[in-house]
Amino acid sequence: MPLRWQEVALPLITIAFLIVLKYIPATAHLPLSRAAGVVAFGYAAFLALRLVQPEEGIIVDGGWAELRPSLVEYFACYGAAALAAILLFAVIVMGSVADTTQLIATYLAVIGLAAGSVGIGMAGLFTNTRWDHRQVKHRSALGREVVLNWSDVRAVRPNWRGITIFGTTGSFTFSQFHGGAAQLAKHAATRARRNSETATSAFAA
């Protein structure tokens, strides 16, 4: 699946924000150059892992195809968790010698990284999406299951959280970073177009 504009804009905005903070007196002494370097390195790793993201789902029992978490999601989830743990350890060890601004900035980074890790895990690693020739099923990390018949699919739209499939009986969102996401999105879009054409023909008749 090709890169979306959000995947390019987010790291550029983050790096630009860190550069701006470097020229603000209250935050100029923080290691913002190193933080920008970490963001740039992480984005380079993200692009490299994106190249090896599988385009097709895994065939499992009974003729079902299934999405699987990609290396991008594992890297982002566990990498963010590991970096949060390292920063938290640094705060605990160096808390008595660091100034207040550095402590606050580090705590905010820890919270942001931890929240990002949990969010990626909940939205990607611990969900399950599968489909066959009749229907598509999605189970969230909390166990909520949505089942859509292909004949009920009405639209497929990308968003910040991933790709959403809309049906007459419900909708669900799956990660665009899953292995097989491109295949499922293309298949769902084809079904939605056919369903729309069938409904239009029936209405005209």
Query: pLDDT means per 10 residues in the chain (205 residues)?
Result: 75 89 83 85 86 83 87 90 88 70 84 92 91 93 93 90 91 91 92 86 62
Q: How far apart are CA 181 and CA 175, in angstroms?
A: 7
Do 158 and 186 contact (CB within 8 A), yes or no?
no
- pLDDT of 186: 92
Alpha-carbon 18 to chain mean position: 22
- H-run or E-run covering 108: helix 100-120
Strands of 170-174's sheet in order across:
153-159, 162-167, 170-174
- pLDDT of 200: 75
- pLDDT of 172: 94
pTM of the full predicted structure?
0.79
Tokens of 65: 């195809």
Helix, strand, coil content of the chain in percent (nearest 5): 60, 20, 25
Q: Which residues pair with 135 in a beta bridge?
A: 149
- pLDDT of 82: 92
Q: Distances from the Cα of 4 to the Cαs of 54, 79, 116, 163, in angstroms?
A: 17, 22, 19, 11
Tokens of 90: 């640094």
- H-run or E-run covering 11: helix 5-22
Do 93 and 204 contact (CB within 8 A), yes or no?
no
Q: How many CB atoms lie within 10 A of CB 136?
A: 25
